[in-house]
Chains A and B, each alone.
Chain A
Amino acid sequence: MKKLKYALYTGCTARESTPELLKSTMSIAKKLNIELVLLDEASCCGASHLQDFDDMLSLVLNARNICYAENLGLDMVTICNTCQLNTAMTKERLDNDEELKTKVNEKLKEVGLKYKGTSKVKHFLYALQDDYGYENIKSKVVRPLKDINVASFYGCHNLRPSGLYKENHENPYKPTSLDNLVLSLGGKAVEYESKNKCCGFHVELQNPKTANLLSGNAMSDAIDNDADIMVTPCPLCHLRMDVQQHNISRQMGRDINIPVLHLPQIVGIALGIDDKELGLHHNVTKVGIV
């Protein structure tokens, strides 16, 4: 198999509040022999909030991030659903609107860059599914997630709007990529209705009640369907569901207590990577499965 190589756009959380995401991503990539080149020049994607304030600025900054992947001649992979959405949406708009692309490139020219549209942008999950292949991952599993009920929580921005993600072959109403990954790691995939629902992260500051109810409803659904752990490809969902369990429990009036892992963490566990390398000690809710 040809060695896969991508430009990795880490986003901000992986460098700050979820260091375990970057650690585990790099360690599974190494184990799977996938080369990830860190885009250290990249800026924040604006997280869908900068866009509300200044759309043009957000387009220019996101286009600049893509330029760095293009200059390496590599496709970009993301490890945060919201980075993925904002980057993919920028790409979609620029690739389909010459006038807008010219406007953005006028700005980028001032710093010696040019957006061309030559690099694809996909979440790492879909690189594993479509480029690497779950069968290949399965063949490298040394510690199957045997008898562990894993509730996949997909996060909104990898699924919707699905028009952006035609290549992923994922139906936003019945996503399968993460569940199939869990199966290939030897785990049991929990069937529950809330797997494609919203965690409420984006209103956490201005409306914590909405955020806690949305996370709480999804987590209750997972727990009530016998999940032992939850897994998510999105660090923002993770920050809500791992860190905020005390607030969620209070809002829900029931005890919400379940380990929540990042996608590369469960892959890493099954590949036999050391806990420390996967940053399991950074998870706020104790991970008791290993």
Chain B
Amino acid sequence: MNKITFKIFRFDKKTDYLPHYDTIQMEVNDGELVLDVMNRIKWEHDGSFSYRRSCRHGICGSCAVKVNGKGTLACKDRVRDLVKIYGTQLTIEPQDIKRAYKDMIIDKKNFWDKYNDVQPYLVADIDEFPKKENIVSTKQNEKIDEADYCIQCGVCFYSCPAVEVNEDFLGPASLVKAWRFNADIRDKAKEQRLDTVNDMGTGIWDCVKCNECAESCPKEINPINKITKLHNQVFEYGKAKNNVAVRHAVGFKWSIKKHGLLDEGELVKYSEGIPAVAKHIPEAVAMFKKGKIVMPWNMPKSKNLDEIKKLVDISSTTEF
């Protein structure tokens, strides 16, 4: 038994101007989940405390909250494990306090809108009276990976720092779903989905690569890995556009082939193109003054560069 102090976010959009926090002390035993604590708060302390819950088995995806800022599926995370990280003062808040409706209940419209943007369903001509079974082999199914484990809990989405500062970004859950169907051999809308996820400002190129989605996903789906696969598929289907983000990815190959190391200045120039590169002049001048810019004639090269050139030639699998 541990004595834990819980600070609970309370807000009712209908009546409150600002939220407040209730402080409740409770003895919590080792097996108790965050959901058990929320149930006890409602049953033992305040019947008006509101939160979503249903299955209690990590399937329905409705009980996600944040504990000390960490995205948490309440029916999966044990209080004991959170105490190990944060100590005995735990703050329970909704996934996004800006979208709070009542206590832990948020308006998840932004999550569902992004989700719907990627056609989150199978697009295929279905023969209603097939003469034989339409079999997908295990090997073919492997490509989907764990992408179909998603329970739409929103933990990755509301933990994503890119979503936090860029409300247009599709976010990890929606991109996982895009991969779920783009890896399905039966699906016929792959190109449309790639067009959607390939847009600048909203799609895969705006992922900041922080790996928080992989860390936070309660179903261990590794969303950023699926985002990488979508990047690869964009090139595979010839959908990559000649823009700054694509040139930035491709530029690494040319630089590595030439120097082994990355030619940083050349990469920025190649990615941005002229005249857009001009906007970097203030930083470039500041860096030059501090001896942070390597001149082309001093560009360092890896030793045994011939090996690298050969490996680039024989190992490349993608063209742009």
Residues of A at under 8 Å CB distance from B? 12-13, 15-19, 40-44, 46-57, 60-61, 64, 85, 107-108, 110-111, 113, 156-157, 159-162, 171-174, 193, 197-198, 200-203, 205-207, 209-211, 213-214, 217, 243-244, 246-247, 281-284
Say how far A115's CB is from chain B's closest CB, in angstroms.
12
In the complex, which residues of chain A have a beta carbon less than 8 angstroms from the beta carbon of B256? Answer: 43-44, 46, 50, 61
Query: Measured between C-beta atoms, what is the minimum distance from B266 to chain A in Å?
Result: 11
- Chain B, interface SS category: helix
B54 → A minimal CB distance (Å): 26
A203 touches B260 (CB 8 A): no
CB–CB B312/A57 < 8 A = yes
Given A43-B260, A64-B307, A210-B208, 16 more contacts at CB 8 Å? Answer: A12-B262, A15-B294, A16-B261, A51-B228, A52-B231, A57-B317, A111-B307, A113-B307, A156-B211, A171-B85, A173-B69, A173-B86, A198-B161, A198-B210, A210-B169, A282-B292
In chain B, what residue has the closest Cβ to A49? B249
Complex CA–CA separation, A39 to B70 (angstroms)? 38
Give the complex CA separation of A217 and B250 in angstroms: 30
Nearest neighbor of A46 in chain B, beta-carbon distance: B252
Indicate if the CB atoms of B314 and A110 lie closer than 8 Å. Answer: yes
CB contacts (< 8 Å) of A49 on chain B: these are: 248-249, 252
* Distance A242 CA – B165 CA, assembled complex (angstroms): 21
Of A48, A157, A193, A203, which is within 8 A of B206 by CB? A203
Q: Which residues of A contact B209 (CB under 8 A)?
A: 48, 156, 202
Does A52 lie within 8 Å of B261, measured CB to CB? Answer: no
Residue pair A16, B294 in contact (C-beta under 8 Å): yes
Q: Are A12's CB and B166's CB within 8 A? A: no
Cross-interface CB contact of A57 among B245, B253, B292, cutoff 8 Å: B253
> Residue-by-residue, is B162-202 near A (CB-CB < 8 Å gives 1, otherwise 0)?
10011001000000000000000000000000000000110
Does B43 count as interface, using CB distance less than 8 angstroms? Answer: no
Q: Are B208 and A64 within 8 A (Cβ)? A: no
Question: Which B residues are CB-close (under 8 A) to A64?
Answer: 307-308, 311
Query: B87's closest neighbor in chain A, by CB?
Result: A174
Among A19, A44, A108, A171, point to the contact of B262 (Cβ < 8 A). A44
